Amino acid sequence: MTAFGMEPVNSMCPYCGEPIELLVDCSVRKQNYIEDCQVCCKPITVRVIVDEEGFPSVQVSQEDEV
């Protein structure tokens, strides 16, 4: 894992339940954005918090569950 660079994070789509990979920019401490599922194409709300060592914590939810 490269601290404060682009980091792939595995998660699961909150709609279809399929595994997905998100590419997280660890140089930004807190992020909220919408990304479409690579499988079912539905919009996922992605919340990222990067700790002081550059490791991301990611939560995903359906877009309307903000």
pTM: 0.85
Among 66, 28, 25, residue whose Cα is nearest residue 45: 66
| Segment among 2-6, 45-49, 60-64 with least mean pLDDT | 2-6
Please report, for the chain, the start and end positions of each structural domain, with discontinuous segments joined by +.
Answer: 6-65
Q: What is the mean pLDDT of residues 13-42?
A: 96
What's the confidence (pLDDT) of residue 63? 84
Q: What is the mean pLDDT of residues 13-27?
A: 96
What's the confidence (pLDDT) of residue 2? 52
Q: What is the mean pLDDT of residues 50-58?
A: 93
* Residue 3 scores a pLDDT above 60: no
Q: Judge whether 16 and 37 are in contact, CB under 8 Å.
A: yes
